[in-house]
């Protein structure tokens, strides 16, 4: 069972554009949340939920579903917007983000919304959770896979590297980690705060199969995930190079937008920029 499988890249680009617009509206309404990373991950989440994952929005506890772990939980607006567009819950609920009594908490909470596989907030724990799930799947000879989206900045956490070592030890070929390599974290640029490079070489030294892609090229993200399925004796990490705030010029590349939300004027400008991009996508050849 694979619901929401969209194969036309143009259609996927349009979905990603819709998700970006939803994220901006959510964050403006909430007056709280994280903008740059949420917007920057729209293409990756579109690829996951509308092409890559085996899942069923109408049966979120389907036993044979792929598990999708979000480690950097502060970018949950893009997760919520993607899941709503995929049919997990009504889109109208997106406007309740971070409000009292809302199911859309500031960090995802397992059990509150259908389809949320893990609670996340403290950074650096998601890969460990994903490794545990992948171990269970391998032990029980299950066919489902585990995908983990995590940030580059949370590689400042030692637990992330401990999980990477454990995944290699147990040859978890059913685990694919996708790193949002956007080069920013809350205090500034990652390479100024605690340099990560040579990033790919570190994962290779830890025993992982490493793929580097443009995180905004949906086809390359899909192809990378397909490649990971053919690697049986090692976990795979996809280092996805992204632009924080992608598609919104005043937001792009700036670490100040890590945990900042737009004003009414900025939200209107962002939506206008995304609408202009949408028209260009619609004019593309199929």
Each residue's pLDDT tens digit, 131-179? 999 999 999 999 999 999 999 999 999 999 999 999 999 999 999 999 9
pLDDT exceeds 70 at position 1: no
C-alpha to C-alpha distance for 190 and 171, rounded to whole angstroms? 29
- Alpha helices by DSSP H, 156-241: 158-169, 190-193, 199-205, 218-229
The pLDDT score that the predictor gives to residue 286 is 62
Beta pairing partners, 188:
185
Q: Is the dihedral of CA 9, 13, 14, 19 positive or negative?
A: positive
- How much is the average pLDDT of 82-94? 97
Instruction: Return the pLDDT at 148.
Output: 98
Average pLDDT, integer, range 113-119: 96
CA distance 71 to 154: 9
Residue pLDDT, tens place only, 52-81: 999 999 999 999 999 999 999 999 999 999
Mean pLDDT within 199-203: 98
Given pLDDT bands bounded at 50, 70 and 90, which one contains residue 285? confident
Alpha-carbon span 120 to 126, nearest angstrom: 7
- Written as six digits, the tokens of 13 are 């680009």
Domains and CATH numbers, the chain: 9-283 (3.40.50.970)
Whether the full predicted model's pTM is greater than 0.85, yes or no, is yes
What DSSP line would sit under 136-201, residue for residue? HHHHTT----EEEEEESGGGGSHHHHHHHHHHHHTT-TTEEEEEEE-SEETTEEHHHHS---SHHH
Check residue 257 and give its pLDDT. 94
pLDDT, mean of residues 179-183: 98
Percent of the chain with pLDDT over 70: 99
Average pLDDT taken over every residue of the chain: 96
Whether the link from the prior residue into 198 is cis, omega within 30° of 0, is: yes
């Amino acid at each position: 069972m694979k619901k929401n499988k969209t194969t036309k890249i143009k259609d996927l680009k349009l979905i990603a554009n819709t998700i970006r617009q939803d994220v901006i509206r959510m964050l403006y309404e909430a007056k709280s949340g994280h903008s740059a990373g949420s917007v920057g991950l729209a293409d990756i989440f579109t690829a996951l939920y509308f092409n890559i994952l085996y899942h069923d929005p109408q049966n979120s506890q389907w036993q044979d579903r792929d598990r999708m772990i979000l480690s950097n939980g502060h970018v949950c607006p893009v997760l919520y917007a993607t899941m709503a567009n995929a049919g997990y819950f009504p889109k109208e609920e997106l406007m309740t983000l971070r409000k009292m009594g809302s199911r859309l908490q500031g960090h995802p909470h397992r059990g509150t919304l259908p389809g949320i596989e893990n609670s996340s907030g403290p950074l650096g724990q998601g890969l460990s959770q994903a490794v545990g799930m992948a171990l269970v799947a391998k032990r029980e000879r299950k066919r489902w896979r585990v995908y983990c989206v995590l940030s580059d900045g949370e590689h400042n956490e030692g637990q992330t590297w401990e999980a990477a070592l454990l995944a290699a030890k147990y040859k978890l070929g059913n685990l694919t980690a996708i790193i949002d390599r956007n080069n920013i974290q809350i205090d500034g640029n990652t390479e100024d705060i605690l340099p990560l490079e040579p990033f790919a070489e570190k994962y290779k030294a830890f025993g992982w199969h490493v793929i580097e892609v443009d995180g905004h090229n949906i086809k390359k993200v899909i192809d990378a995930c397909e490649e990971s399925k053919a690697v049986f004796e090692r976990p795979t990490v996809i280092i996805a190079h992204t632009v924080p705030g992608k598609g919104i010029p005043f937001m792009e590349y700036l670490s100040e937008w890590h945990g900042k939300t737009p004003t009414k004027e900025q939200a209107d400008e962002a939506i206008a920029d995304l609408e202009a991009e949408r028209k260009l996508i619609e004019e593309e050849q199929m």
